[in-house]
Structure 1
Amino acid sequence: MNNLAYLAIQFTTAIALYLVIFRIYLQPWFRAQTFEAATLPLLVLHAFRYLGLSLVVNGQVDATVSRDALAIMAWGDYASGICALIAVIAISLGSRLAVPLVILFSVAGIGDLLTVGPTASNAGVFEADIGAMWFLLVIYAPILLLTHIYIVVRLVAHLSPSRRASTS
């Protein structure tokens, strides 16, 4: 089996595991929270996306992998993490910019997640030695994907006309 097959197995297993954990332990709590309270811990999780910069640190990834591809992935992660951190601060301060900043984070973060797969595949990342980054890929990336989906679902519900009409 090649590395991409192992990645698919591990990623799929992680998604299943995280969904079970969410369903059993977290969903009741999240459901009872306001939009801001529910998205805040998820955004904090995304603020750790600065870890993606490890891709461009010498010696962390096989030297045969394109540095340009690694930079695209690393800086996309970093930008998403900074957007998440700014949204965390805005929510924590009760700023009226909180929702627009969550939207900005969602666009940047999902854009990054959609870019990283093809970029990594085209650069041969999945067949290269990526050391400890493999663990981020199979542990952290699945939770990032799922939390992005949940944030967008909550964002859409928060912005829906029926919700706004019921709170006015």
Structure 2
Amino acid sequence: MSPETIFRIHLALGYVAWLLCFRVYILPRLRSMEPFEAHRAIATLHSFRFFGLVFLLPGVVGPHLPSGFTTYTAYGDFATGVLALLALLTARARPLFWLFIVSFNLVGVVDLFLAYYHAVRLNLPAMAGELGSLYAIPILYVPLLMITHFVALYWLARPRLKADRALAPHAAAA
């Protein structure tokens, strides 16, 4: 099998495995939380995206990995991670918290879509070995990030149910 085929199989199975895990274990737990707590948990996961700057370190990735991929990916991840950290740091100032929650999710989704766009345009799957030890990021970490972004954005966009609105004053007082 070619490296390109192996990479694509790994990527697809990374999504399948995380979707199964997320649906059975993570989503029920997030649904049981108040929206603030659920979004804070998702922000905590994404706060580690500052790690994406590692794509810029010589010797960590191969010298032939296109800078058209690494630069955008590194700085997009960094921006998303900083916004997620700002959301966590402003948890007591709810309007700021929600602003940063929306911001990091929008920036994060755009970053991941751009990373996929650049990866396809530059034929990254054919040179997946150039990712070195970072190969695990697109296979194991990115699918979970994308799934949690979509869930968070869906929850932010959906209208709140009447029962949710009725409980909101009681939850705020607690």
- TM (normalized to structure 2)? 0.83
Tell me the residue number matched to 1:40.
40
Distance 2:58 2:156 in 1: 38
Distance 2:19 2:123 in 1: 29
Distance 1:127 1:4 in 2: 4
Alignment deviations for residues 41-88 of structure 1 (CA, whole Å, 9 cap, x no partner): 211111111121111111222222332431111111111111111112
Over aligned residues, Cα RMSD in angstroms?
Answer: 2.1
Tell me the residue number matched to 2:111.
112
Alignment deviations for residues 87-117 of structure 1 (CA, whole Å, 9 cap, x no partner): 12222x2432111211111111011011001
Distance 2:23 2:83 in 1: 27
Tell me the residue number matched to 1:67.
67
Distance 1:15 1:68, change over 3 A: closer
Quote how far apart the aligned CAs of 1:162 are: 5.2
1:1-168 paired onto structure 2 within 5 Å:
1-91=1-91, 93-128=92-127, 129-157=130-158, 160=159, 166=166, 167=168
Distance 1:75 1:13, change over 3 A: same
Q: Is the 8 A contact 1:65 1:123 kept in 2?
A: no
Q: Is the 8 A contact 1:76 1:112 kept in 2?
A: yes
Q: Is the 8 A contact 1:106 1:152 kept in 2?
A: yes
Distance 1:130 1:29 in 2: 33
Distance 1:66 1:117 in 2: 13
Q: Is the 8 A contact 1:35 1:155 kept in 2?
A: no
Distance 1:25 1:75 in 2: 31
Q: Secondary structure at the match of 2:53?
A: helix
Distance 1:114 1:27 in 2: 23
Quote how far apart the aligned CAs of 1:124 are: 3.6
Distance 1:65 1:6 in 2: 17
Q: Is the 8 A contact 1:49 1:80 kept in 2?
A: yes
2:5 alignment partner AA: A
Unmatched 5+ residue regions in structure 2? 170-174
Distance 1:114 1:26 in 2: 23
The size of the alignment, in residue pairs, is 165
Percent identity reads 23
